Amino acid sequence: MSPVVELRNVTFVRDGRHILDDVSFAVEAGEHWALLGPNGAGKSTILGFCGALAHPTSGTVHVLDGQLGRTELQALRRSIGHVNPRHPVSSPLTALEVVLTGITGTIELAMRWEPTAAQVSAARGLLASLGLSAIEDARWPTLSQGERGRALIARALISEPRLLLLDEPSTGLDVAAREQLLETIDTLEQSHPEVASILVTHHLEDSRARRPTPCSSRTDASRPWAPCTR
């Protein structure tokens, strides 16, 4: 079986500056990786490649069953779940409605679209599995950062993705909320064993739940990031 994500000799140059140089790694189905590094190391750039949102300057990126530049990106994105703590909801959607936007891949509820009873049930089930049943009707602006983070995980999972990308999901959380969010992420191995995931962070402690076996890491000057896999 092909890897869910594979980067081969990837280089990325922006404004004449080499952000990434000769990066190669592969993520298999069911594996859980962390990309570790300081700000500006290129972690989010790599995540953009994995999410079929950006192209490298050179090298090849295979995501799911396609190669960037040779396949229709929108089709790939439908099988990728994203968790971004800066999710820009501007209207007072409920937590349940935000989860349902994961089906349409939109920020707001899609115009002239109504979820089926099965889809609403699935959204409620995901919220319940993440301990959020009590706030499914609460408006987004009233939720805590921790509640939003877990709701965004439910939103990412509603489309039954094969790949889950988490872009610094603990940003802005206090210690207790961060701990709860990391525990939630760790449970995904049991609840969604077939889903591969990649977590971006510059906090080593955020990747602790992904390290029951040794990590392989590369942290030299040209590769200031470290992939970790179990």
Mean pLDDT of the chain: 85
Can you give the pLDDT at residue 214? Answer: 29
Place of tokens 């993440």: 130
Can you give the pLDDT at residue 211? Answer: 37
The residue count of the chain comes to: 230
Can you give the pLDDT at residue 184? Answer: 85
Can you give the pLDDT at residue 205? Answer: 65
Can you give the pLDDT at residue 118? Answer: 96
Can you give the pLDDT at residue 162? Answer: 93
Work out the number of other CB atoms within 10 angstroms of the CB of residue 5.
Answer: 26
Can you give the pLDDT at residue 176? Answer: 86
Can you give the pLDDT at residue 224? Answer: 38
Share of the chain above pLDDT 70, in %: 88
Rounded to an integer, what distance in angstroms lies between the CA atom of residue 195 and that of residue 28?
A: 9
Can you give the pLDDT at residue 155? Answer: 95
Rounded to an integer, what distance in angstroms lies between the CA atom of residue 80 and that of residue 160?
A: 8
Residues 6+ apart with CB under 8 A from 154: 99, 102, 123, 126, 127, 129, 130, 132
pLDDT < 70 regions, the chain: 203, 205-230
Work out the number of other CB atoms within 10 angstroms of the CB of residue 155.
Answer: 26
Query: In this structure, is the dihedral angle defined by the CA atoms of residues 130, 136, 139 and 143, taken in order, positive or negative?
Result: negative
Can you give the pLDDT at residue 207? Answer: 60
